[in-house]
């Protein structure tokens, strides 16, 4: 079992979309100085770690996930020195910062790709995945063709403008498919190690890795990609042993074997994460079914075997806002669940105040349907919600137009607000080891149709029963324990005496047993 950095054991993350968080220069786009300015707010909420979406130079065809220069902060966000200052100020507050690393592809404007397009052989010819002929596409992949004098088609990972970097093929089956130990594939791997070392040496605490499971091609069982990350992990262990790696992979057994400390349960794939929050009848909407989620979670939990953490985020920049489907008391209930589960919690900026998905927006920088979840943070009740100067006429993305939109300032002073509930839950989590990142879990009720979620959390001698019941009916829990101390209650208190195992409709509680 790889030892996790000590700070990760109690980490509670806050995800920041930099262009939408806080603008300090009045251009309508958030920047790094704005993040630094708001560190105290994040600390006040209770979060002690930050995941920042890409902040590197980019043409922004995909909101920065199309990197043009891994070594330079995008000028609209500030300078490299501003980012170093953010690391330093965060560390003064005993906080940590993860950058978003995009190792699978670059922008087509990256200097590496511009050189790779040349017809003549050079050191970047094999930095990307090219077929031998312009007439041959790569089966199963999109491709770029006819854009240069080079003969061949280049694989893309997502959008057309994101050519795939070459880490080799686990099982090459065509002449142009290079093995993992080819000169080009090794050069790409070493280049990414250099990028990581550059930012770690400047104070970065680690990386959330975009599409971490997709690097090696023709790798059905992920054996090649696991081996690649094990090699990178060995490199990091030698030079930066405290660095944290969090993967966007969705298969914890594979990512943790590869050397990651934590993996996300994703909103796509087999996790059933959306059954909880984002479907026609989500569990936390009061009529849904969480049982398939629980079954898949327990499968992933068993595969992780205590060697790594599993994250269940409140949301992120790629999915609908939590408040599009879950509001009011049920939003508080959703956070009672998120902040009482194992693994490091991740809160998407604005979810802690119930920011809404902004409907019917024109796509901004490759956002398309995701754009409504990326609107500016709502700090106060002023014209531009405190995101930028009131005189600024054009924001990166339009604000929620509702004059009653939630804002952080009003919620911080309202004890009944979602912000204060999340703050309270984080405080409880921090003071009870059983509710922490590495505490064990045992489900006693799987949230099936018309049933609550209920589980024991345990660590050392502490054992806590958690019950979350968004349904409209009281439910008798299958427990024989006495509720020794009610640690947290939302809604009606659980039954007492003969009914000590009753969780009331629309309520949640944590109780020491």
Question: Looking at residue 481, what is its pLDDT?
Answer: 80
Three-class secondary structure of residue 56 per DSSP: strand
Neighbours of 401 (CB within 10 A): 9
pLDDT at 500: 63
pLDDT of 1: 47
Q: What is the 3-state secondary structure (H, E, C) of 377-446?
A: CCCCCCCCCCCCCCCCCCCCCCCCCCCCCCCHHHHHCCCCCHHHHHHHHHHHHHHCHHHCCCCEEEEEEE
In CATH, which of 3.90.1150.10, 3.30.450.20, 2.60.40.1180, 3.60.15.10 is domain 440-512? 2.60.40.1180
Place of tokens 């699978």: 104
Q: How far is CA 199 from CA 87, 194, 211, 243, 470, in A?
A: 10, 9, 20, 11, 44
Per-domain residue ranges of the chain? 8-102+184-429, 105-164, 440-512
β-pair partners for 346:
13
Burial-class residue 128 by CB neighbours within 10 Å (0-12, 13-18, 19+): buried
* Pair 511, 465: CB distance under 8 Å: yes
Q: Residue 39 CA to chain centroid, in angstroms?
A: 19
Identical fold between 8-102+184-429 and 105-164 = no
Quick one: pLDDT at residue 2?
60
Nearest to 205 by CA among 240, 156, 248, 232: 240
Q: Which residues of the chain have a pLDDT value below 70?
A: 1-2, 496-500
Fold of 105-164: Oligo-1,6-glucosidase; domain 2 (3.90.400)
* Structure confidence by residue, pLDDT tens digits, 155-192: 999 999 999 999 999 999 999 999 999 999 999 999 99
Q: CA 173, 174, 177: angle at the middle one, nearest 5?
A: 90
Q: How far apart are CA 427 and CA 364, in angstroms?
A: 37
d(CA 22, CA 481): 48
Return the CATH number of 8-102+184-429, one of 3.20.20.80, 3.40.50.1100, 3.40.109.10, 3.40.50.300.
Answer: 3.20.20.80
């Amino acid at each position: 079992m790889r030892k996790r950095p000590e700070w990760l054991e109690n980490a509670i993350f806050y995800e920041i979309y930099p262009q939408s968080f806080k603008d300090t220069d009045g251009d309508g786009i958030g920047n790094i100085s704005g993040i630094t300015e708001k560190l105290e707010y994040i600390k006040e909420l209770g979060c002690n770690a930050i995941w920042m979406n890409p902040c590197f130079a980019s043409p922004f065809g995909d909101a920065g996930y199309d990197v043009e220069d891994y070594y330079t902060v995008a000028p609209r966000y500030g300078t490299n020195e501003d980012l170093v200052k953010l690391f330093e100020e965060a560390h003064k507050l005993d906080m940590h910062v993860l950058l978003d690393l995009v190792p699978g592809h670059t922008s087509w404007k990256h200097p590496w790709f511009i050189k790779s397009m040349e017809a003549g052989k050079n050191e970047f010819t094999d930095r990307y995945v090219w077929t031998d002929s312009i007439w041959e596409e790569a089966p199963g992949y999109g491709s770029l063709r006819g854009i240069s004098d080079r003969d061949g088609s280049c694989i893309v990972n997502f959008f057309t403008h994101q050519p795939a970097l070459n880490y080799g093929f686990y099982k090459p089956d065509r002449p142009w498919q290079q093995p993992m130990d080819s000169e080009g594939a090794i050069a790409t791997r070493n280049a990414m190690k250099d990028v990581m070392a550059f930012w770690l040496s400047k104070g970065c605490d680690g990386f959330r890795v975009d599409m971490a499971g997709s690097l090696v091609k023709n790798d059905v069982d992920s054996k090649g990609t696991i081996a690649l990350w094990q090699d990178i992990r060995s490199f990091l262990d030698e030079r930066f042993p405290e660095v944290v790696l969090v993967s966007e992979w969705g298969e914890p057994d594979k990512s943790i074997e590869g050397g990651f400390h934590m993996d996300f349960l994703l909103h796509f794939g087999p996790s059933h994460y959306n059954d909880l929050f984002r479907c026609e009848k989500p569990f936390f909407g009061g009529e849904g079914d969480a049982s398939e989620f629980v079954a898949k979670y327990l499968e992933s939990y068993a595969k992780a075997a205590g060697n790594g953490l599993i994250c269940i985020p409140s949301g992120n920049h790629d999915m609908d806002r939590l408040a599009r489907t879950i509001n009011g008391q049920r939003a508080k209930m959703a956070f009672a669940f998120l902040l009482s589960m194992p693994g490091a919690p991740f809160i998407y900026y604005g979810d802690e105040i119930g920011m809404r998905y902004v409907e019917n927006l024109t796509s901004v920088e490759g956002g398309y349907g995701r754009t409504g979840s990326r609107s500016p943070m709502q700090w106060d009740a002023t014209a531009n919600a405190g995101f930028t100067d009131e005189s600024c006429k054009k924001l990166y993305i339009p604000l929620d137009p509702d004059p009653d939109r939630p804002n952080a300032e009003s919620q911080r002073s309202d004890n009944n607000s979602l912000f204060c509930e999340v703050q309270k839950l984080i405080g409880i989590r921090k003071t009870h080891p059983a509710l922490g990142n590495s505490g064990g879990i045992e489900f006693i009720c799987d949230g099936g149709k018309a049933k609550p979620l209920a589980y024991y959390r345990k660590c050392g001698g502490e054992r806590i029963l958690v019950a979350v019941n968004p349904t409209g009916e009281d439910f008798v829990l299958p427990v024989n324990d006495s509720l020794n101390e009610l640690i947290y209650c939302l809604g009606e208190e659980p039954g007492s005496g003969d009914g000590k195992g009753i969780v009331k409709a629309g309520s949640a509680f944590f109780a020491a047993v």
